[in-house]
Amino acid sequence: MSSQLPPALFIAGPLGIDFLNSVAIPVDSVVDWISTGEDYLDWLRQAELLTTNDISIIKSNFSAGELDEIARRARELREWFRGFARDHKGKPLPAKALTKLKPLTDLLGLDQMFWSIVPKTSKDKSDGRSPMNFRLQTQRRWRTAESLLALVAEEIAKVICSADFTCIKACQGENCILFFYDETRRHDRRWCSMAICGNRAKQKAYRERSGK
């Protein structure tokens, strides 16, 4: 699935902001991890929002054309949230921003989520929070393809309701279009990744100093 694409980027912090980074310019050209329905399913798998079993069910329920249409709508949602984040990043989110959230709230209303009790995994048990052997898990009935949009709408809603928008930043790297959540102690993070844009900036500064 999506074998020609590099692994998706999850460097922002909150998954709702990582959704913005499902399109990037990692080198010279644009890479879009949700350009098709197949790509979108794979991005959701990498984000741990879908399991391989979920994907099997979804592919049996919906055609490739239906999934491609959902990917198109996911790209629209991404660009809507990009504009929202660009407008409000770096400052407290005002109450009046609620009037701009209709595209998001419409998608939240499409969800078909339910709760189930499942055994804890070894990863769950390692957190040391509870001696119990079970946990609550959200699941979805994949009766409509729009449920795939509700998945990311929920993550975006978590950002809007829980994140400090003063900590949302755009990378200062040249030609970089990535966003991130700055959780550093001094809130002085400038790059999406020191290994990518931070290193490029250092190399550029060195060349300028040395006249190369």
Q: Assess if residue 62 is contained within a domain.
A: yes
Residue 149 within any structural domain of the chain: no
What's the whole-model pTM score?
Answer: 0.84
Q: Is residue 45 part of a domain?
A: yes
Q: 57 in a domain, yes or no? A: yes
pLDDT in 10s for each residue of the chain, 212 residues: 445 899 999 999 999 999 999 999 877 789 999 999 999 999 999 999 999 999 999 999 999 999 999 999 999 999 999 999 999 999 999 999 999 999 999 999 887 778 889 888 776 655 556 567 898 887 788 889 999 999 999 999 999 999 999 999 999 888 889 999 999 888 888 888 776 786 675 666 545 566 65
Residue 184 has φ and ψ, to the nearest 5°, of -70, 155
According to DSSP, the residues that pair with 119 across neighbouring strands are 134
Contact of 10 with 44, CB cutoff 8 Å: no
In this structure, is residue 125 part of a structural domain?
no
Enclosing domain of residue 78: 15-105+155-210
The pLDDT of residue 207: 57
* CATH classification of the domain holding 36: 1.10.3300
pLDDT of 182 reads 94
CA 23 to chain centre: 10
Count of domains observed in the chain: 1
130 lies in some domain: no
